Amino acid sequence: MWISTILNYLCREINLSIEFSMKILLEIPDNRAISLMDVLRSISYVKAKPLTDKKAQMLSEMKDAVDEIKLIKTGKKSARYAEDFLNEL
């Protein structure tokens, strides 16, 4: 939040315009996807495109990794030393 505040301030100071946009990841059943994509594409200010299976898997794995880091930071899960991890390989 504070980053956008700083960027907005700097943009005003140098008369620069930056537009921010929100990205949303939706998970919907395949049999409903086509109709939803049609609706989203009909809105002029919305850019909608489906994710490939590979990108969807990568995002899911990244989310799992972030969730695991949160658990470690809150003490609900213990961290491993990188050396131990590398020794397992």
C-alpha span between 23 and 75 (Å, rounded): 31
Residue 63: both structure tokens together = 């989310």
**Is-contact 33 26, C-beta < 8 A?**
no
So where are the chain's domains? Answer: 1-50, 51-89
pLDDT tens column, 12-60: 667 666 667 788 888 889 899 899 999 999 999 888 888 888 988 888 8
C-alpha span between 56 and 25 (Å, rounded): 9
82 to each of 56, 74, 75, 79, 89, how far by Cα in Å?
27, 19, 18, 9, 11
pLDDT tens column, 68-80: 989 988 999 888 8
